A and B are shown apart, each in its own frame.
Chain A
Amino acid sequence: MIRFLVRRVLLGALVMFCVTIIVYLIFYVGPGPTYVARVLAGREAPPQTVALIARRLMLNRPWYVQYGHFLSQLLQGNLGYDYYHGQSVNSIIAQAFPVTLSLAAGAAIIWFTIGVLSGVASAVRPRSLLDRGATFTALVFYSMPTFVLGLLMIELLYYQLTIHGLRWFPGSGYTSPTQSISGWLRCLILPWLTLALVSAAAYTRLARAAMLDVLGEDYIRTARAKGLSESRITFRHALRAALTPVVTQFGIDVGSLLGGAVITENVFGLPGLGYTAVQAIANQDLPVIIGVVIVASAAVVCANIVVDVVYAVLDPRVRLH
C-alpha cells in the first residue's frame, strides 16, 4: 500500500514536471515574452521601453533559467506573480478555486444521481419504452457540446423566463455563499444543470452497460432462486458490483473538472479556474497559466490515486501494488 502510494505520487510528480515544462516551452517558443512586453509597454512605446519591461519581468532570460527560478519558488509554495498587475498567483487561485469547487461538486452530485438511477432503471427493464427513452435522451445530451447546452439553457431558462417576468436565475456571474446562500444557489443552478446533463449521459450509458453485465451473472440468478425481492437484488447485489466502473469514471471526471470547467465557466461568466485560465492564456500571462495548470494536473493525479484506492476498497479482489 505504502509502496503503491509512493510510486503513484512519484509518477504524479513526473506528470506535473512534464506538463509544466511543456507550458514553458509553448510560452517561450511562441510569441509570449514579446507579446507581454509589448502589451505592457503600450501601443506607441519605443523599443527601449519594451526591452526594459522585458528585462524587469525577466522575460529576456532563456526558458530554463526561468523554469529553474519557477521551480525554486514553487518549492517554497509560491506560484509567482501575474505579469500585468503583480497580483500573487496564489491569491488568484485561492479566489478562483472555490467557484470551480462549488460548480464541480454540485454538478457531480446531480449527474451521479441522475446517471446511476436512469442507468439502473434502463438496465432493469432492457428494451422497454423507459429504457429506449432514457438511452436516447442520454445519447442526445452526450452528443451535445457543453457550450451549446449552456447557451440553450441561457436562452430558454434565463431569457425566456425573464422576459415573461420570472427572474429565477441570473444569466451570468457568481455570488459567493458567504454573501448569500440563495444567491449562490441561483447563480449555480443553470451551470450545474448544464454540466450535469452533459456528464450524466455518459453515466447512464456506463451504468446501464455495467448493470446489464452484472444482471446476467449466475449469482444474480442464485439470488432470485433464493427468493430475494427484485429491489434487494437490484440494489444490494447488482448495483454494488456494477458501481465499480462508474466510480472509476466518476473520480477521473471530478478530478479533471477541479482543474476548471473551462467551457461552462466561460458560458456563464463564473470566475473559476477555467475562466481565469482562458483570460490568462489570451493575455499570455504565464505565471497564472502555470498556476492553473499545476492545480489542474494535481487534481487529475490525486483523483487517479483516490480512484485506485476506492477501487480496491469496493472490489476486494483488486490489490494495490
Chain B
Amino acid sequence: MSSVSDEPLVRVEGLVKHFPVRGARRHGGEREVVHALDGVSLEVRRGETLGIVGESGSGKSTLARCILRLQDVTAGRIVFDGEDITTLSQHRLRQQRREMQMIFQDPFGALNPRRRVGSIIGDPLAIHAKGSGAEHKRQVQELMELVGLNPEHYNRFPAEFSGGQRQRIGVARALALRPKLIVCDEPVSALDVSIQAQILNLLVDLREEFDLTYVFIAHDLSVIRHVSDRVAVMYLGEVVEQAPADDLYRAPRHPYSSALLSAAPVPDPDLADSREQIVLVGDLPSPIHPPAGCRFSSRCPRQHPDCTVVTPTLEPHFGDPASHPCACYYPLADGETLSGEGDKRPVGADRHREIVTAPLRRGPRGAVGAWEEEADQAEAIQGRSPWQLAFARLRHDKAAMISLGVVVAIALVAVLAPVIAALVGHGPNVQYPPPIGTTVDGLPKAPTIHFLFGTDDLGRDVLVRVAYGAQVSLLVGVLATLLAVAIGALVGLAAGYFGRVVDTVLARVIDVMLSIPFLLFAISLASVVSITPIHIGPIVLQQGLGIVVIVIGTFSWATVARIVRGQVLAIREKEYIEAARSLGAGSWRVIVIDVLPNVLAPIIVYATLLIPLSIVSEASLSYLGVGIPPPTPDWGSMIAAAQQYYQQAWWYLVFPCLALIITTLAFNILGDGIRDAFDPRATGTRA
C-alpha cells in the first residue's frame, strides 16, 4: 500500500445531519426530523483508504455528501486539509472543490446523457482550470488513456459505453483536477462482479500513482476489505466500530459488525455450510425515532437492559489499540461469535480476496486496458448524439416528412404572397367593382379563370388574400409560441431547479394562470385596445399583430412552465446534476449546461404542438373581431366575413377554412412525429 501518513486530510467532528420530515406534525413545537447522522467523528489520513460499511439507510451516503459539503450539515465540523469547510461560502467552496472529488454509484445516472464523453471528463477543467481548449483536450485524452479508455472515443456519448466503461469515465472526471481526496460512493455496486474487480484495481493503482486519499463507501464487505486500510462500520447514523481492515475482519468487536460479516457470502460451499450465519431480526428502526441508548439494542442478540439507557461511547476494548474503538457495552472477544460458539470459524474467509484480485489484463500505463477489444472499430468513433438519433428517426417518418413539406410550402406561400399577387395581377386589398369583382347585387363572384378562388364581398381576390393570410397565421403562431416558450421555460427552470420558496410561489402563479378562462381574457384584453389604443409611457398598445402575439403568449406559457418544471424536478434528482455541483459548477452553469439540454426535447415537442394552437387562437380572436384589424388579409376575419354569405358564396368560406385546417393539421402531424422521434418508446398517439 502507499505511504500513509498520520496527519489527517479530513477530520470530521461530531457531525450531525437531520432532515426535516415533510408534512409531519410538530411535537411540542419541534419539527420531526430524520436523524441521518448523529455525532459522527472520524479522521481520514493522507494516502489511506477509509472504508465505510453499513446496511441501507445507515447514513453512509449522507456522510459522503456532508464531507464534500454537497449537503449542509446540521451541527459539527468538517476540517479538510487544515481548513474548516463547514461554513465556507458557496464561492469559496467551489474553489475548494478542485481538491475533493466524488465517484458516484450509478454509472448510468452520473453522466449527462446529452454530453460527449470528452466534455464530461473535461468539465472540471472547464470549470476551474485555465488553459486553451486544445490543452484541455490533450489532458482529457491522457486521462482517458489513464483509466483504460480509448482516447479516440472522445466524441462519443455515454449511452455508447458499457457500465464498466462509464464508471471509468466517472473516475477520469474525478481525477481531472488531481484532487487530494476522492469520495467513492458505492462505485462498483451497480457493476457485475468481473467489472467490479477491474474498477477496484484501477482505483487501487491510481491511488498509488497519484497519492490519492479515498473515502470508500460500500455495502459489499469483500470489496471494502480489498481496498481499505481502515474500516468504519455505521449503523443508523452512528459509527459503531472503527478498525484497521484486517483487525476488523479477524476480530469484530461490535455485535453489528459481526452480524454484517457473517452475512457476507463465502465462495466455498463446504466452508459456507460449516459457517454460522447470524440473521438479524427486523429492519433498521425508524431514523425519525431512533432507539434510546445504543441504537442497535433493538436488534442486538446480546442486548442487556442497560444498553437502552445511555449511548455507549467509541472506545477500545480487550486491550485493542486506540485505532480500534467500538461503541458497545458487551463487545465480542477474540474468536467469540454472537451465538457464543467460539469453535466456529470467524466469518469472512480470506478467500474473498481471490475473486477480487484475479489477474486482469493490464493496459500500457498500469490501468486495465478494456478498450483494446474495441480498437478495431475505430471508424465508428464519432458518436451519435441523442439529437442526431432523433433526427434520423424523424427522417424515416413518412407522415412527418410530408407534413414538413406542407409546412415549408405554406411558409413559401406566405413569403411569396406578393409574387403570387403580382402573377395573378390582383393586390390583396384591391377592390374590383361590380360586375368584375362582385355581381351587380354586390355578392361575391364564383371562381373563374381570373379569380381562381373567387372574390369576396368587397370584390377582392380570395386566392391572394388567402396567400397573404398565411403570413399573419405563421407569424403569430411562431412568435406567440416563442414568447410562451421563453417565459415558460425560464419560469419552469427556476421553479424546478431552485425549489423551496421560488417553486412554491411560481407553482401558484402557474396554477392561477391555468385556471384563467383563456378565451374570455384574451377577448377582453384584445377588445380593450380595439376601442382605442392605450398609451403606457412611450409604448402604444393598439389592435394588431403585436397585441395578439402578446395575448396568446401570455396565456400559453403556463403550460410550458408546468411541463418544464416537472421535467426539471425529475432531472434535478439525477446523479449527474449532483456530479456537476460536486465539481464546483455554479447554479446557472448547471442549469444551462446540464439541465437545459435534457429538457430541450420536451420543450421542442411541445413548441411544435403549440404553434397550431396559437394559429387557431389567432384565427379565433380575429373571427370574433378582436384580432387582426381589417383590411389586413387574415384567415379568421375572412371566415367571419364569409359566414354571412355562406348561402351564396361557398368559396369565400371554404378556402380560408381549408387553408387553416391544412396548416394546423400539418403542424400537428409534424409535432407528433417529432415527439415520437425524441421518445421512440412512447406509445405515441399516431399509428
Contacts and interface: CB of A to CB of B under 8 A. Distances in A.
Of listed B519, B520, B667, B668, residue having the most chain A CB within 10 A: B520
A32 B532 CA distance: 10
A31 B532 contact: yes
Interface in A131-172: 131-132, 135-136, 139-140, 142-148, 151-152, 154-155, 159
B657 A151 contact: yes
A103 interface: no
Nearest to B23: A321
20 contacts: A12-B515, A14-B508, A15-B516, A26-B524, A30-B529, A30-B531, A135-B686, A135-B687, A144-B661, A145-B660, A147-B619, A205-B685, A216-B683, A260-B517, A262-B624, A278-B523, A282-B527, A284-B528, A284-B531, A296-B517
B664 interface: yes
A289 B616 CA distance: 23
A127 B520 contact: no
A300 B521 CA distance: 14
B239 to A, nearest CB: 36
Contact of B639 (A27, A147, A212, A296): A147
B381 interface: no
Nearest to B519: A262
A265 to B, nearest CB: 11
Interface string A287-321: 00100110011001100100000000000000001
Given A142-B668, A213-B683, A152 B657 contact: yes
A26 B661 contact: no
Interface of A: 11-12, 14-15, 18-19, 22-23, 26-27, 29-32, 35, 122, 126-127, 131-132, 135-136, 139-140, 142-148, 151-152, 154-155, 159, 205-206, 208-209, 212-213, 216, 256, 259-260, 262-263, 266-267, 274, 277-278, 281-282, 284, 289, 292-293, 296-297, 300-301, 304, 321
Contacts of A144: 661, 664
A301 B515 contact: yes
A23 B529 CA distance: 14
Contact of B646 (A127, A155, A281): A155
Given A15-B515, A205-B685, A262 B646 contact: no
Interface in B646-687: 646-647, 650, 653-654, 657, 660-661, 664-665, 667-669, 672, 682-687
B620 A256 contact: no
A31 B511 CA distance: 29
B190 interface: no
Interface residues of B, number: 49
A151 B639 contact: yes
Given A140-B661, A145-B619, A278-B523, A297 B516 contact: yes
Nearest to B672: A139
A263 B620 contact: yes
A159 B639 CA distance: 17
B619 to A, nearest CB: 6
A26 B528 contact: yes
A296 B687 contact: no
Interface in B607-655: 612, 616, 619-620, 623-626, 639, 643, 646-647, 650, 653-654
Nearest to A146: B620
B534 interface: yes
A234 to B, nearest CB: 16
B310 interface: no
Nearest to B509: A18
B665 A277 contact: no
Interface string B338-354: 00000000000000000
Given A259-B517, A263-B519, A31 B534 contact: yes
A31 B528 contact: yes
A11 B686 contact: no
Given A143-B661, A151-B646, A155-B650, A277 B523 contact: yes
Contacts of A35: 531-532
A216 B529 CA distance: 52
Contacts of A139: 665, 668-669, 672, 686
B679 to A, nearest CB: 12
Contacts of B612: 143
A55 B278 CA distance: 90
B515 A143 contact: no
Contacts of B685: 135, 205-206, 208-209
B646 A293 contact: no
Given A143-B664, A263-B519, A278-B624, A155 B687 contact: no
Given A31-B534, A147-B639, 19 more contacts: A14-B508, A22-B516, A30-B534, A35-B532, A126-B687, A139-B686, A145-B619, A148-B660, A151-B657, A206-B685, A208-B685, A209-B683, A262-B519, A262-B520, A262-B523, A263-B623, A277-B523, A296-B520, A300-B517
B90 to A, nearest CB: 33
Interface string B12-41: 000000000001000000000000000000
A208 to B, nearest CB: 6
A11 B514 CA distance: 13
Contacts of B525: 26
Contacts of B669: 139
B687 A256 contact: no
A148 B683 CA distance: 30
B653 A127 contact: no
Contacts of A212: 683
B660 A14 contact: no
Count chain B CB atoms within 10 A of each CB in A131, A145, A262, A289 and give the residue with the most: A145
B512 interface: yes
Contact of B520 (A15, A140, A260): A260
B521 A22 contact: yes
Given A26-B528, A30-B534, A147 B623 contact: yes
